[in-house]
Structure 1
Amino acid sequence: MELLPSWTKAGSWTLGRDPLGMQATSVRMYRTLVPGLTNVTNRLRYYSFYCWVIQHYEETEHSGDEAKWRIFIRRAEALYALACNIVDPQQSDGLAGGLWAGAFRQALPNDTIDLRPHTDQPGQSGQYLKATRGNFGQFYIASMTEVELLTPSTRIPIVSNQLGRDMASAFAESVGKTTALISNAIRTGTVTPAELAEIGDAAHPSRIPADSKEMAMLRNYLLATNELGGSGSARRSSAWLLLDLLRLGVSAEDETGVRKAFYNRHGPDGSPYRVTGLTIDRWMAFQANELCHIAFEAILNGLLTELQKYPLGLEPNLLITKLLAPLLAKLGTSGRSWRDWSAEIGEEFIGSEEALAEPILSTLRDVKLASNQDGLSSALQLIAALWHRWGGEDTSVRTMIEGYAGRGGRSLSGVLRTLDAQASNTVEDALMQTIRRHLIADHLTIAGRKLAASGTFTYHFTLSDGVVSDGRVTNYAYTNPRIKNLIRFLRDANLYDGSTVTKSGTRFLSENQPV
């Protein structure tokens, strides 16, 4: 009898985006800073538009057929994106299907436009959006249910009896008779260019009538004006801080400027930014953790680039030594303790950590630069500067981060704790122990848990028989804290017009203070 091998089912493989677990801490933090916003909740008016679409489906279709609902919402979304791109493509950023709409607009037919080939085949090629359940089902349903615009439902969405229906009627009141055109276009899947222009003019996310009930309700959601505590107050405080920085001259496109202002409490002209409170303290802690994870990810890429020189792998300490030796020689750390060297680096770069971050981010954007000595040296200096600034008497940042670090404490706080124990050791020994703990050991633990839980292979390297091998380098960046999404919302709410803070925005700033 012939014996044949019996193979187990292959697991999936991917390079995890958070191989050291530090970004997860940042994500937990910014979720409390901008609750209700996700990376893909891009326009404020979607909340009222979707409430109207859902209620309109209930009133006109009377069907629990999920396939029918999917076609209905997909036609509504494609219609919305195309109509808005027709009347104002510059202000139509963030709309689901925007790339499709922009391309479609370039060759718009003169007669009736048939949306159905682009909407009615979910999951097929040539559609306005790949997501089968549309932008709404993929990204908005959870947040809208959380803020009680929707009633929890496992099948067809349902607007809530009070808030959701009020929001739907507010949208209808703002748009007026154009709702009939929207309704007909969704029902038939067809629309004329003239009807598209009228729909886009009335329903565009940047054209919410200033004094309308719809604007008042959407602002109330964004700013939680009737909510003293809870998640809404955190969103209001973050909106206040961001709007205040825009008023002071930080560019809406300058996310680095926003990060610097929150982290170092300086305005764009370098003057002190004297706003205080829990929210801005949390933004400071968020950025401190961000600086930590990019430094360690640069070191991870550096180690794995070094590892590629050794096809049979290397013992961890030897691999770390081969990476560190030329860097520490360049930095002149021979014979110096971690405490003394970090104090020197900390004094040099305090308040300028972002200057150290720039060459690090450059190496993380291009894997060909993973062994760049300037970027790797900056990563070591940044770790030293963070320990000097937040590892001593000022424990506010590390204490705040600890509350979000989760199991294992994978964060700046955990790194500081490890370096505390290494303070009297040489720089080389302190970094050796810290890298082994927070890079080698933590990555293997995280990747092992993902493999056991879901069958997903996320190892960037393996450790077998005491040897590190199979290194894979990849790109990294800062975690997206949804600042751009919040700026879009401020723009849609007519608190910011893209260049200056509006009268309504100025009034909001004067009548409120961040907590």
Structure 2
Amino acid sequence: MKQLTKLSNIDQFLPRWTKRVIAETGGRDPLGLSRVSDMIVEFLLTGITTQTNRARYYSFYCWNIWNIWHIHLTEKPQKYKDFVDSFRRREAVLAMSTYANNSNTSPVGIKAARPILEKGFQRGEMDSNFRVLPSNALGGYGQYYGGSLYQLGLTRRIENGIDHLNKGMGEALAEAFHLSIHETPYIQKELFRKTKIPLVDFDGSKKLLTLDAIMKKSGVIERKLLIDLFFGFNGTTICESTLLRRHTLGQILHILCEYERHDLYLNLDSIDVIFVYAPSYFDVIWSEEDDKTIPYKCPEKFRRCHSLWRQFCLQQYFTNALENILFAVLEIIGNESAGLTIENIVLRLMETTFLKVLREKAGKDCYRPREILKAFNIEDIPTHEASYDLQQLLIPTAKNSEFDILRISEEDTGSVTAKAMLLLAVLYGKWRGIQDEEGMCYVHEHAGNGLWFWTFMPIIDKWLDKNTKWDETLERIIRCFIVDQHDRIMYEKKRLESCWFRTDGNRLFKEQEYSPKFRANRHLQAVNIMRDLCLIESDDEGYLSITSKGKTILNKILNEHECVIRKTIDSICMRYLIVAPMIMRS
């Protein structure tokens, strides 16, 4: 009997509050903590973003803009407006065809396409003269996919602001798309030139003009080319970012195989936990059904990729801790029309359930920061062995693991702040002694002025001093890593009018709500793309499995010799090992 493992989405571990909190959008980053996260994810999944989750858009947009094949060969636009008009008509037809063929799909522009599609069925002809995204003349390409196609080397920008296709893979994808739709009335009657399409011709074309058609027999060439593109199989040498994208996609396939090997089946709703946090950070696969974990051994070939994803997860837990403190600060000052000083904020935090929560989790009173570290058997700066042992001990099911801490009930701002301090303590214990992990070396080399956990760890070193008190600890964190960091980020973005709080003299005044959130890791988009490419399949309930083609690709990755053009990450590691001790002493 199959054991079904449907883990809750990571959002369940985000802070909750007893009153309505305004939902956040992805661009809101008051402390600049997304910078390091985005840098890591961009390196690991170049060309795949949080908004690019369908494989066929990559080949469709190549076909749509190909300068010597379709628009330029058949219509030869002389002005940017001509290019946009031609582009828009084709994209509108793709959106309408996709929805008409499968109402459960959501192509770019579904809101605009649905009412026009309904009118078209009534009138007997479809109108393709509309923007799928009213805010962008080039629709999904201009809003979402254009940057990805450029990063993958498929397009270039030349005169008049018109994007052109590069030779090689870009042209091959355009030809493959055209070949798959060549026999439709839409192409045979050159209906792409017109704004009105007879219903009979639309019906005769829509099955091949959909995003889903790539999974059919007609899409076999497109699938082959896109697999080569995403996995970097189309050249004798590849750059390091292409290699890491290959290994990230390969590790997803490998993790799926491991779950299946243990008779566990994964749901789309559990992407974050399954493909990122459990195997990449905790090195386990996790059955929530019986709350057991099974060790996950990452293939040696994926070691560098695996290490970078660990650093991404570490940054998310660090982000959650600091943003919990920001949240608590905003809640306290939000009820004070005259504002509050940082000293008064700290007093309010410690008047509530702060010490109570620490005592419940530590099993003893924690009147000073040193005592919370003792709860994790930390009495001195952790060695490599001590940090490694703690990483092995505090897996998701263990008491006081990151997952366990994030489950703390939030009664008030004191419990929120206690949760943040506990999370910082366990991260310190797990990582303070680790100085030679490859992912950490890369982040150190590329983070610049970005705030990440290693720049914060010297603050926690001071917790080991028996004379360090909670009030001075909280005051320093709020002043340096909340107030000063917030102001620095707002000045850099030149968004002072959009700040979350403002200072007047020595007092803080709340400007808007904020709730902590985990940053996107793009694994859901990667899984959706690999489903389109028939490497992963899902049943009606969203449970995932790897296909025979997916296993073939995984074996090819694991067994293939890789010739990589690399920025010698080994030399980066050596420089890092030299400077890391100096950083920690500063």
TM-score by length of 2: 0.75
Alignment of 1:120-159 (within 5 A): 129-154=134-159, 155-159=161-165
Provide the secondary structure at the position in 2 that maps to 1:512: helix
Unaligned runs of at least 5 residues, structure 1: 1-13, 120-126, 364-368
| Residue 58 (structure 1) aligns with | 72
Given that 2:63 and 2:174 are in contact with CA atoms closer than 8 Å, whether structure 1 keeps it comes out as: yes
Residue matched to 2:383 = none
Query: Quick one: which of 482, 491, 503 aligns to 1:448?
Result: 491
Asked whether the 8 Å contact 2:349–2:413 carries over to 1, the reply is no
Matches within 5 A, 1:413-428: 413-424=454-465, 425-428=468-471
- CA drift of 1:434 comes to 2.4
**Which whole-Å CA distance do the structure 1 matches of 2:311 and 2:524 have between them?**
19
- The secondary structure found in structure 2 opposite 1:318 is helix
Q: How many angstroms does 1:228 deviate by?
A: 4.3
- State the Cα distance separating 1:238 from its structure 2 match: 0.8
1:79 deviates by: 0.7
* Kept in 2: contact 1:462–1:469 (CA 8 A): yes
- Of 216, 219, 241, which residue of structure 1 is paired with 2:224? 216
1:497 aligned counterpart, secondary structure: strand
- Residue identity matched to 2:369: W
Shift of 1:59: 0.6
- 1:65/1:199 CA distance change after superposition, 3 Å: same
Which of 78, 99, 106 in structure 1 is aligned with 2:111? 99
Following TM superposition, where does structure 1 have runs of at least 4 consecutive aligned residues deviating by more than 6 angstroms? Answer: none
Equivalent residue in structure 2 for 1:113, among 125, 148, 151: 125
**Where do residues 289-438 of structure 1 align in structure 2 (5 Å cutoff)?**
289-330=315-356, 331-332=358-359, 336-345=367-376, 351=396, 352-358=401-407, 371=412, 373-393=414-434, 396=437, 399-407=441-449, 409-424=450-465, 425-438=468-481
Please tell me whether the aligned partners of residues 85 and 200 of structure 1 are also in contact (alpha carbons under 8 angstroms): no
Q: Which residue of 1 aligns with 2:574?
A: none
Contact 2:350 2:414 in 1 (8 A): no
Compared CA separation, residues 485 and 229, structure 1 to 2 (3 A): same
SS of the residue corresponding to residue 286 of structure 2 reads: coil
Aligned to 1:188: 194
User: In the TM superposition, what whole-angstrom CA distance separates every residue of 1:86-108 from its partner, at most 9, and x where no partner exists?
Assistant: 11233x34x21123334555665
Q: Deviations over 1:263-315 (max 9, x none)?
A: 11111331111005011111111011011112211211111111123222222
Partner of 1:123: none
AA of the residue aligned to 2:488: T
Change in 2 beyond 3 A, CA 1:136/1:484: same
Q: Note the C-alpha offset of 1:80.
A: 0.3
Instruction: Give the corresponding residue for 2:206.
Output: 200
> Is the Cα–Cα contact under 8 Å of residues 267 and 273 in structure 1 kept in the other structure?
yes
Note if contact 1:341-1:427 (Cα within 8 Å) is conserved in structure 2. Answer: no
Tell me how large the CA RMSD over aligned residues is: 2.9
Q: Provide the residue aligned with 1:3 in structure 2.
A: none
Aligned to 1:88: 102
* Stretch of structure 1 that moved more, 455-464 or 488-497: 455-464
| Alpha carbons of structure 1 residues 188 and 377: separation in structure 2 relative to 1, 3 Å | same
**Does structure 1 retain, via aligned residues, the 8 Å contact 2:46–2:151?**
no
Q: Answer yes or no: is 1:237 the counterpart of 2:263.
A: no
Aligned to 1:250: 266
1:172–1:179 contact (8 Å) kept in structure 2: no
Kindly indicate whether the alpha-carbon contact (under 8 Å) linking 1:398 and 1:412 is maintained by their aligned counterparts in 2: no
Amino acid at match of 1:357: L
1:46, distance to aligned residue in structure 2 (A):
1.3
Does the residue aligned with 1:477 lie in a helix, a strand or coil? coil
Residue-by-residue CA offset, 1:124-178 (whole Å, 9 max, x unaligned): xxx6543122211232222222322223324222112333222211112222312
Structure 2 counterpart of 1:253, one-letter code: D
CA-CA distance at 1:180 after TM superposition: 4.1
- The worse-fitting range, judged by mean Cα deviation, of 69-78 and 277-286 is 69-78
Q: 2: CA distance between counterparts of 1:345 and 1:325? A: 25
Distance in 2 between residues matched to 1:104 and 1:63, nearest whole Å:
26
More strand by share: 2
Query: AA paired with 2:171?
Result: R
Distance in 1 between the 2:246 and 2:41 partners?
13
How far apart are 1:491 and its partner, in Å? Answer: 0.7
**Alpha-carbon distance in 1 for matches of 2:62, 2:189:** 14
Task: Provide the residue aligned with 2:88 in structure 1.
Answer: 74
Match of 2:382 in 1: none
Q: Does 1:508 align with 2:553?
A: yes
State whether residues 79 and 185 of structure 1, in contact with CA within 8 Å, keep that contact through their aligned partners in structure 2.
no
In structure 2, relative to structure 1, the CA distance for the partners of 1:163 and 1:468 (3 Å cut) is: same
How far the C-alpha of 1:197 sits from its partner, in A, is 3.6
| Alignment of 1:272 onto 2:280 | no
The amino acid of 1:322's aligned partner reads R
Count of matched residue positions in the alignment of Structure 1 and Structure 2: 481
Contiguous gaps of at least 5 residues in structure 2: 1-24, 260-264, 288-292, 378-389, 539-543, 563-586
Task: Please tell me whether residue 28 in structure 1 is matched to residue 39 in structure 2.
Answer: yes
**1:163 corresponds to which residue?**
169
Distance 1:57 1:183 in 2: 15
CA distance in 2, matches of 1:243, 1:15: 27
Distance in 2, matches of 1:180 and 1:105, equals 16
Q: Residue 177 of structure 1 corresponds to which residue in structure 2?
A: 183
CA offsets, 1:384-432, max 9 Å, x none?
111111123466365554334321x412222223222443223443333
Per the alignment, do residues 79 and 339 of structure 1 end up closer, same or farther by CA in structure 2, a change over 3 Å counting? same
Aligned mates of 1:163, 1:354 — CA distance in 2: 43
Q: Which deviates further from its counterpart, 332-341 or 473-482?
A: 332-341
Task: Tell me how far 1:336 sits from its aligned partner.
Answer: 4.8
Q: Which amino acid aligns with 2:56?
A: R
Equivalent residues of 2:155, 2:165 under 8 A apart: yes
- 1:500 partner SS: strand
Question: Within 5 Å, which residues of 2 pair with 1:447-486?
Answer: 447-451=490-494, 456-486=496-526
